[in-house]
A = this chain, B = another copy of it.
Amino acid sequence: MTDHPAGRRGFVQERVVSFADCDPARIAYTGRLADFALEAIEAFWSDVLDGESWFEFNLDHGLGTPFVKMEMEFSAPVTPRCKLSLHVEPAALGSSSIAFRIEGFQERRSCFVGRFVCVFISIESFEKIPVPGWIREKLERRFEIPKPAP
């Protein structure tokens, strides 16, 4: 895991595409690409929040960030013959939600683009809550994040 070349914009995760990730068509299975995007978001949090991510949100902070929306467009198959780079960028930070833009590359060729939206909730009440201050602060210190359209 390394910083994005344009570090103010995003976070990059590199991963192997394994045999198990691929299907009889001999490319990565569509469902695995969704998993890859999700794992990259999990790694994004861990990178931004000094090791804390979904598990700690749930277990230590009484916090959940369920996905309310995911969209992916696939433009090229993902092969196990080379690594996959996942670029994660916080695309919008609302009062109680965050949107991510994710793009997957193999050898500089874009394979897919995704947009994922999460809301922050209290695990107790399962109700929406404002983005916690300690998270907002670390996000804004590191990234320039557009506000969502009102």
Protomer copies: 4
Given the interface pairs A34-B31, A35-B31, the reply to whether A22 lies near B23 with Cβ below 8 Å is yes
List residues of chain B with CB within 8 A of the CB of A18: 39, 42
Range, interface on chain A: 35 or more
A49 interface residue (CB < 8 Å to B): no
List residues of chain B with CB within 8 A of the CB of A143: none
Contact of A26 among B20, B53, B59, B73 (CB under 8 A): B59
Across the interface, name the chain B residue whose C-beta is closest to A32: B20
* Residues A27-69 near B (CB distance < 8 A): 29-31, 34-35, 38-39, 42-43, 46, 53-56, 58-59, 64, 66-69
Whether the Cβ atoms of B68 and A73 lie closer than 8 Å is: yes
Contact of A29 among B19, B30, B68, B77 (CB under 8 A): B19
Whether the Cβ atoms of B64 and A74 lie closer than 8 Å is: no
- What are 24 A-to-B residue pairs whose CB atoms are below 8 Å? A16-B43, A19-B23, A19-B53, A20-B23, A20-B35, A20-B38, A20-B39, A20-B42, A23-B24, A23-B54, A24-B54, A24-B58, A24-B59, A25-B66, A30-B38, A34-B35, A56-B81, A66-B74, A66-B77, A67-B74, A68-B73, A69-B71, A70-B71, A71-B72
